[in-house]
Structure 1
Amino acid sequence: MELLKTLILGSGPAGYTAAIYAGRSGITPVIYEGIQPGGQLTQTTDVDNFPGYPEGVDGNALMDDLRKQAERFGAQIRTQICTKADLSQRPYTLTFDDGSQVQTQTLIIATGASAKYLGLPDEEKYRGIGVSACATCDGFFYRKKTVAVVGGGDTACEEATYLSGLAQKVYLIVRKPFLRASQAMQDRVFANEKIEVLFETNTLGLYGEDGVEGAHLVHRKGEADERRYDLPIDGFFLAIGHNPNSEPFREWLEVDEIGYIKTQGQTPRTNVSGVFAAGDVADPLYRQAITAAASGCKAAIEVKNFLDEHDL
C-alpha cells in the first residue's frame, strides 16, 4: 500500500494553500480533489474580496491560479473521493471511491462545507446569476437593488442585516410564523426599515431572462387562505445552513452538533495526533475563501513541525 508523508483532502482555498506551503517546505503533498474540484468558489462568477485581484476575478480562474501554484511546488493532484478513514493508528488509512487505499503519516482535512439549498431546479439554473449562498461574498453586486434572503435563524438574520447595508430593500422569507434567531438578532431585524419579513412563506421557483428577476412565492401553502404571488427581486440568497463534509471522519474526530470538526485553540490540530482540519469543514462562523486559505497555511506549517518532531 502506498505510504505518504502528508495527504490533503479537498481542493478549495484551504487545500491548495496547504499544498503550496507544504511543497515549499520540502514535502511532496498529494491532494485528493474531492466532491467539488476547486471548492465552492467554482460556483461563483466574480470574486471581489480575495486579496491580489484589484479588478476582481472569476471564481474558476482564481481556483485555477491556486491549483497551478500548488502544482508548481510539486503537489500531486488526484481525482478520487474519500469514502472511509481509519484514524485508529498512524499511519492512517484512507479508502477512496474507486476502492483504492492509501496510508499517510499526516492528514489535512479540507473537505469544506456544502450550502443547503431548497432543492428547486431554478436554484441551479440561476446559480451565480442571481442565486447565492453567501451574502458576504456576493452582496456587493446588489448595491441599491432588491434582494431576498431565505431562512429564519441567526444566519439568515445576519445575512439580511448585512445586505441591508448594501441593497435598497431586503425581504426575509420565513417558512414558519416566527423567527428561530436569538432575541437580540430578531430585534435588530425588526428595527431595520430596509428589511421586511415574509412569514409563513415558501418559494416555489424563480424567474428571469438573463438572471433572477423575481421569485414565485406562496403564503400559507396548503391552507384555505393560500395566496400565490410573484415578488420582483434582483438577488436570491440562501441562508438555511451548511453541511460540513466530515462524514468519513466523525468516528474518530471530535465534531460539534452539526458536524464541524473541532480544532484546538487557534490551531488546526484535531484530537487525533497528526490530523489537521482546515477551511470550512472546521469553520461554522466565517466561511470565507481568505480565512480558509489562512487555515490551510497553518495546517501545512503544523504538518511540517509534526514530521520534523517525529523524524518522519
Structure 2
Amino acid sequence: MKEGFTQVVKEYDVIVIGAGPGGMTAALYASRANLSVLMLDRGIYGGQMNNTAEVENYPGFKSILGPDLAKEMYESSTQFDAEYAYGNVEKITVNDNNMKTIKTDSDEYAAKALIIATGSQYKKLGVPGEDEYGGRGVSYCAVCDGAFFRDREVIVVGGGDSAIEEGSYLTQLVKKVDVIHRRNELRAQKILQDRAFANPKIDFVWDTIVTEIEGDGQKVTGVKTHNKKTGQDEKLPINGVFIYVGVEPMSEPFNGLGITDEDGWIRTNEKMETAVPGVFAIGDVRKKELRQITTAVGDGSIAGQGVFSYIESLKD
C-alpha cells in the first residue's frame, strides 16, 4: 500500500462511484450476479433526478417525480445486498496486480473492479455577482428554489432541454419568466419548445448574454445584458436568476488514470470499458451524445454485466 494511505476499510468485488440512475443500475446488475458491491456517493442517491420536477420520458411511467423515481431505483438497486456509503472520492490508485484503491475524505476501500458514475454538473456563467448571490437569487435548480420566487419575476439563462423544462416548471410558481439565450433559436427538444412558446408566462430574449448579476448586498435585484447582434446593453430588474448553460464532467479524481479527454470526459468503448483494465465508466461523466436517465440506465446495465465478466476472467 502506498505511503500516506490508511488501512483499507473493506474490500469488494466492485465499487460504484456515484449513485445516480446509471450507478444504481450497475449496482443492481453486479450484485444480482452475486458480486459484493459498494455504491459510494457524496450525497443522497438519485443524482440530478432529485432536482427534476417531472420525468416524462422514462418507460413504464407516464409521469413521475424525479425524487420518487430515485427512491424506486434505490430500493431496486439494493435488493441483492449492494451496500451504500457516503464519501467524497479524492484519489484512485491501481497497483501492479490491478487492484483499485479508493480514498475518500473519510475512509479507504479496495476493489477488483471500479465503475465510475459520477455524472456531470451545471456550468457557471462566470460573471460578476454569480458567486456572491449564489443561494440568494442565483440558482441552478428550479425544483429546489422556485418556491422562493412565488409571484415574482425571474430569468432563465440557456436554451437547451434543462433551461426550457425548468422555465416551464417555474411558471407554476412565478409571475413571469424571461428566457435569455445567446442564439436566435433553442436547442431543446421540439415538444419542450412548443410548450414553452405556448406558455403566456414565458418570454424570450434572443441573441443576448448576461454580463453581470446585480443585488443590494442581500439578494438579487437585476441583471445586465448585452445583445450580441445590436450591441445594446440593458438592465433587467428581476428577482431570480436560474442558470442552465451546459454541463461539465465530475471527473477530477480520475485525471491521473489517463482515461479522460482534454475536456475531462471519460472515454470508453461500447462495453463501457476505459483504457484501464477493470475500470468502467457510465452515464453523464462519459463522452457521449445523449445524457438522459434512460441512456445512463443502459450504460449501467452493460457495465454491471461487464464487471462480472472481468472478474471471472481474473480466475483464469
Fold conserved between structures, TM > 0.5: yes
- Alpha-carbon contact 1:13-1:289 (below 8 Å) kept: yes
How many percent identity over aligned positions? 25
Give the superposition deviation at 1:4. 1.4
TM-score (norm 2): 0.73
Q: Which one of the candidate residues 72, 76, 84 is aligned to 2:83?
A: 76
Give the superposition deviation at 1:34. 2.6
Give the superposition deviation at 1:153. 7.7
Structure 1, unmatched stretches of 5+, are 171-193, 207-214
Residues 168-207 of structure 1 mapped to structure 2, 5 A cutoff: 168=197, 196-202=205-211, 204=213
Q: How many residues align?
A: 272
CA distance in 1, matches of 2:52, 2:183: 24
CA RMSD of aligned residues (A): 3.6
Q: SS in structure 1 opposite 2:264? A: coil
Residues 77-226 of structure 1 mapped to structure 2, 5 A cutoff: 77-89=84-96, 90-98=98-106, 100-118=107-125, 119=130, 120-121=134-135, 122-124=137-139, 127-128=142-143, 129=146, 135-136=160-161, 139=164, 142=168, 148-149=178-179, 152=182, 157-159=186-188, 163-168=192-197, 196-202=205-211, 204=213, 216-220=222-226
CA distance in 2, matches of 1:125, 1:237: 5
Q: SS in structure 1 opposite 2:45? A: coil
Q: Pick closer, same or farther for the CA change 1:28–1:60 going to 2, 3 Å.
A: same
Q: SS in structure 2 opposite 1:228? A: strand
Give the superposition deviation at 1:59. 1.2
CA distance in 2, matches of 1:263, 1:153: 32
1:23-68 CA-partner distances (Å, limit 9, x unpaired): 21111211012355321111122222222212x1121111111111
Counterpart for residue 262 of structure 2: 257
Q: Pick closer, same or farther for the CA change 1:303–1:125 going to 2, 3 Å.
A: closer
Aligned residue type for 1:256 = D
Residues 225-236 of structure 1 mapped to structure 2, 5 A cutoff: 227-230=234-237
- Alpha-carbon contact 1:14-1:294 (below 8 Å) kept: yes
- Alpha-carbon contact 1:20-1:73 (below 8 Å) kept: yes
Structure 2, unmatched stretches of 5+, are 1-7, 147-153, 216-220
Counterpart for residue 7 of structure 1: 15
Q: Pick closer, same or farther for the CA change 1:12–1:251 going to 2, 3 Å.
A: same
Q: Pick closer, same or farther for the CA change 1:17–1:125 going to 2, 3 Å.
A: closer
CA distance in 1, matches of 2:296, 2:159: 14
Counterpart for residue 305 of structure 2: 301
TM-score (norm 1): 0.74
